[in-house]
Amino acid sequence: MNTKKLVKTTGKAAFGVVELLLLYAIAGIFMSFVPVNKHASQKEDVSIYILSNGVHTDLVVPIKNEEIDWNQFVKFEHTTGKDSMANFVAFGWGDKGFYLDTPTWSELKVSTAFKAAFALSEAAIHTTFYREMEEGEKCVKINVSKEQYKLLVHYITASFDTDDNNQFIHIPTTANYGEHDTFYEAKGTYNLFYTCNTWANNGLKACHQKASLWTLLDRGIFYQYEKI
């Protein structure tokens, strides 16, 4: 292949990649604003929360009620603070490399981003314990029925990898974000079409709450709750 043909072929390939990325971005934005379960019923049996750090959405639930005692599965003693006074636990699913090897965005490696984008690495669940939840722009309370909460519990527990004793597999690490969080092995793989926010959004769908048709970003989830 001569130089002229090579340049032409390379140009077409690059243009094709740009087109795909644009379609991906447009679809991601459009579908994130399409509501699912727009008129979801809300019974005040159990209060759950969606919590964002500005990029990533967690699903937050009570530590213990008649349905489940989460501390039997995610342990206070696995955190550095070992604070047993928490009333809530937040669950966030994501790429294991992002969670454990990327303390800040400035330290993000190209290899980590590439593996995450193309489902080449493992997943992990980040759990954080809280004593109180403060509602605000990035923290929304959602009241659900007992039946709906059971569905959410099933969704979350099914996302964990378990050992031979059906216990969640703790990941010993010093990459904790603070004194009240820790990590566990998770099922699935992060990729361009299934992000941490997609997981949280699907959790809301699973328990018949308002959610986006499909979203990559936290904004799509919180948009559905702006007019509550």
User: What pTM, to 2 d.p., does this model score?
Assistant: 0.85
Q: pLDDT tens digit string along 149-200?
A: 999 999 999 999 999 999 999 999 999 999 999 999 999 999 988 999 999 9
Residue whose entry in the numeric block shows the structure tokens 């990590």: 183
Q: How many CB atoms lie within 10 A of CB 158?
A: 10
Q: Which of 11-25, 54-68, 154-168 has the lowest mean pLDDT?
A: 11-25
**Residue 188 is which amino acid?**
G
Q: How many CB atoms lie within 10 A of CB 146?
A: 12
Burial of 32 (0-12, 13-18, 19+ CB in 10 A): buried
DSSP state of 145: -
Joined tokens for residue 84: 């047993």
Joined tokens for residue 186: 């998770």
Q: In whole angstroms, what is the distance from residue 151 CA to residue 216 CA?
A: 22
Residue 181 in 3-state DSSP?
A: strand
Burial of 207 (0-12, 13-18, 19+ CB in 10 A): buried
Q: How many CB atoms lie within 10 A of CB 80?
A: 13
Model pLDDT, residue 17: 39
pLDDT class for 13, splitting at 50, 70, 90? very low
Please compute the mean of the pLDDT values over residues 102-113 and round it to a whole number. 55
Model pLDDT, residue 43: 84
**Domain residue extents for the chain:** 33-223
What lies within 8 Å, CB to CB, of 45 at 6+ separation is: 143, 144, 145, 146, 149
User: What is the CA angle 72-200-216, rounded to 5?
Assistant: 150
